[in-house]
Structure 1
């Protein structure tokens, strides 16, 4: 999870470095196209999965949500600080929990609901409406969290039907296709330097997802989730030391509250799964 945090902060640093050189949709499209090189080993499992029409529709819907979220995230990086983007990004699982309760009809016990409300309070501390100007980048990040949460809900359905390899591979393919029309509308000739840095971004993203998968395999989410907070610390340091961004203590406090709330939600869900497994009658004879 420490390596995961470094990689994801590296992604934000590269996107921040590219900045306004390219439109957000074009930067995202180039990053995903360059990242497709890492998907070559996944082509055979995807073809072997023999996806149904319903599954292809679900993958397409998920790809659309992820596409819009990626564009908003890239745009946010050009408008607000790295620390703010990182902290508000922690709201993704919070909105996923709410959406799963409202749309997928999953249980939302009182303690988990309180944790969700506490996390939303942490988000308000970061933005602080009424105490400072709410920038377009903040609104874009809220939109990002909502889009990614919608994508994750579609993933929860698909993960029960196809392998994780197919889910990851189809996401990258559908997002690359989804970004294409948005990128073409605003296309400007990219420089070789921008292409190089966006390839570095794709490498960081792929390595981060791989490291996160290994972390989840090595330890339960209740152990790995709190380590995500280190990502915010590094984002604050990177923004201050490399990009000269001001250190905002409220962002640190708000991010800590969100991470604590998300960790509690993760712990409660893990306990609920264990309890459900214990209550299920055995079929052994």
Structure 2
């Protein structure tokens, strides 16, 4: 008689949902603060200060990595990922200061869809018909959010599209790095390379900043770190098929934040398009989970 894969308890599932909710609230906090700071601080400078604070928080994990040394074979991958992530955060900071919070959030949902496409193109992962259709549905959702031809697309919209694409490239490189390096080293090196990568761009546009602005950007780093931590805990507590749909609530929080804090109009097309994108992502996640369970069951039966 073959053993069956363990099924998470209801308590663990609820824990995963709560961690993912906390992650979503944390990331909305990031977007809200950057939106509040607006265009007073150039995008490159704001991004640099946020990552500089983040690097300080991650210093306890970065120092051991540097002491152990970084294999020469991985330096190119670390550098390339740092370049992708550097460009992505500049684009994100630029977009966040110029378009509604909900639109930034909805367009950002394209990231896992682009990762799926990139994995097929660069890692030769099989892209079955169902996944192709799910990607197509997600792109329809993006078109509903953006509505090109029906309204003018600003530089902020284009910048956020670039950010989603560049973040996808960064995550694909992280996937490749995961084959040769530990998670702690990957996170620490990303923080270091992005901080260094942002520095020259920040210096080119540097403007004086007040203590209050520095404190806000430090809080951005706190929220971002907390968001990633909570997301990691969520993934460890419950399956992606449970936690992934919860990310849609992040769009609702962002919409409420934009309406209540910044007087932004609630756009039903943004909610509809974001919902369609998340539905497509959730389907892809569910399908991959089913395939993994089947593969595990076959492996157990053959042992």
Same fold (TM over 0.5): yes
* Distance change (3 Å), C-alpha of 1:50 and 1:269: farther
Partners of 2:198 and 2:171 lie apart in 1 by 18
* Distance change (3 Å), C-alpha of 1:274 and 1:47: farther
Please state how far the C-alpha of 1:277 moved relative to its aligned partner: 3.2
Matched, 1:215 2:215: no
Equivalence for 2:91 = 72
After TM superposition, the structure 1 = structure 2 runs for residues 104-253 of structure 1, keeping only pairs within 5 Å, are 104-253=123-272
Equivalence for 1:7 = 26
- CA contact under 8 A between 2:45 and 2:201: conserved in structure 1? yes
Partners of 2:301 and 2:77 lie apart in 1 by 33
Task: Classify the secondary structure of the residue corresponding to 2:106.
Answer: helix
Partners of 2:290 and 2:179 lie apart in 1 by 20
TM-score, reference length from structure 1:
0.96
Please state how far the C-alpha of 1:265 moved relative to its aligned partner: 0.8
Give the CA RMSD over aligned residues: 1.5
Partners of 1:86 and 1:146 lie apart in 2 by 14
- CA contact under 8 A between 1:49 and 1:166: conserved in structure 2? no
Task: Classify the secondary structure of the residue corresponding to 1:242.
Answer: helix
Matched, 1:101 2:120: yes
- CA contact under 8 A between 1:100 and 1:106: conserved in structure 2? yes
Matched, 1:54 2:73: yes
Partners of 1:20 and 1:71 lie apart in 2 by 13
Task: Classify the secondary structure of the residue corresponding to 1:132.
Answer: coil
Q: Deviation per CA, 1:18-38, whole angstroms, max 9, x where unpaired?
A: 111110000000011011121
Size of the alignment, in residue pairs? 284
1:32 to 41, 47, 51: 51
Q: Deviation per CA, 1:163-188, whole angstroms, max 9, x where unpaired?
A: 11111111111110110111011111
Partners of 1:151 and 1:161 lie apart in 2 by 16
* Distance change (3 Å), C-alpha of 1:226 and 1:38: same
Q: Deviation per CA, 1:129-149, whole angstroms, max 9, x where unpaired?
A: 111111111111110111000
TM-score, reference length from structure 2:
0.90
Partners of 1:53 and 1:60 lie apart in 2 by 11
Partners of 2:22 and 2:256 lie apart in 1 by 16
Task: Classify the secondary structure of the residue corresponding to 2:58.
Answer: helix
Q: Which runs of 5+ in 2 are unaligned?
A: 1-19
After TM superposition, the structure 1 = structure 2 runs for residues 83-98 of structure 1, keeping only pairs within 5 Å, are 83-98=102-117
- CA contact under 8 A between 1:31 and 1:199: conserved in structure 2? yes
* Distance change (3 Å), C-alpha of 1:278 and 1:44: farther
174-183 vs 43-52, which moves further: 43-52
Q: Deviation per CA, 1:216-246, whole angstroms, max 9, x where unpaired?
A: 1001111100000010000000000000011
Partners of 1:115 and 1:6 lie apart in 2 by 27
Please state how far the C-alpha of 1:44 moved relative to its aligned partner: 4.6
